[in-house]
Amino acid sequence: MNTTTSGTIMDELTAGAISPKDIVEELIGKIDIADASFQLTLFFIAFNPIFWNIIARLEHSTHFLTQLAGNNAKRGCYILAIIIFSLGIGRDMVFQETLNHQESSVLLELPLIRNLGVASFLIGQLLVITSMYQLGITGTYLGDYFGILMNERVTGFPFNVSNNPMYHGSTLSFLGTSLYFAKPSGVAITAFVYMMYCIALRFEEPFTAAIYAKRDAGKLSKNI
């Protein structure tokens, strides 16, 4: 595809001069999967949810973090929160480095796409921030695995528009950043983010539901 400007791209799209095959080849051709930062980003995206699920389940069965924190469950949860938050910062830094290394695509440099990127990022951040506000630190960072249970299910915004606003918001933030900088590699990474969160939820949701089912059956106490 020999087009070079967003205006020309829009004209050719409107005229039907660019085929779907051209679009796919253009976008895929801009992704350098051999780039070390690209590979490291994928590693972090896969590692982080696997890590926190393993650690949280170990805590639930052995209470090792609680014991490490002086037999204080809330303090143990804060330790895990700091670790998860730090891993997320590291992931985001490597992701930004990847975008800096990867090529942009003129197909994504259209003003409409850029505006969609801004909207996606802002909506994503709104979901993340309001989710954390509603749940608090322990609710956000797997406090239920420590026995720190919510008194009742949170149903206010953003949980009335998304069952998993933290994960959906994070995914939208990745997508928005990728579209804003016109990086096909970022869009591909976003798809991987979404896939990993879907896998994580298949493990987290049934386990969390079982914890609360035991609490409701009187086998666990309410801690908060």
User: Which residues are annotated binding-site positions for S-adenosyl-L-methionine?
Assistant: 122-124, 204-205
Q: How many domains does the chain have?
A: 1
Q: Is residue 26 one of the residues assigned to a domain?
A: no
* Residue 117 · residue 188 · CB < 8 Å: no
Q: Is residue 9 one of the residues assigned to a domain?
A: no
H or E segment and range at residue 72: none
User: Which residues are annotated binding-site positions?
Assistant: 122-124, 204-205
Distance separating alpha carbons of residues 147 and 208, to the nearest angstrom? 11
Q: Is residue 54 one of the residues assigned to a domain?
A: yes
Give, for all 224 residues of the chain, the pLDDT tens digit. 444 555 565 555 555 567 778 788 889 999 999 999 999 999 999 999 999 999 999 999 999 999 999 999 999 999 999 999 999 999 999 999 999 999 999 999 999 999 999 999 999 999 999 999 999 999 999 999 999 998 888 989 999 999 999 999 999 999 999 999 999 999 999 999 999 999 999 999 999 999 999 888 876 554 44
Distance separating alpha carbons of residues 57 and 163, to the nearest angstrom? 21
Instruction: Give Cα 45 to chain centroid, integer Å.
Output: 8
- Where b means 16+ CB within 10 Å and e means fewer, 84-107 reads beebeeebbebbebbbeebeebbb
Quote the pLDDT of residue 26.
Answer: 85
Q: Is residue 98 one of the residues assigned to a domain?
A: yes
Angle at 200 between CA 176 and CA 224, to 5 degrees: 100
Quote the pLDDT of residue 67.
Answer: 97
Q: Is residue 14 one of the residues assigned to a domain?
A: no
Where residue 43 falls (left for φ over 0; alpha for ψ -120 to 50; beta otherwise) is alpha
Which domain range does residue 68 map to?
33-216
Q: Is residue 21 one of the residues assigned to a domain?
A: no
Q: Is residue 27 one of the residues assigned to a domain?
A: no
Distance separating alpha carbons of residues 87 and 64, to the nearest angstrom? 20
Q: Is residue 204 one of the residues assigned to a domain?
A: yes
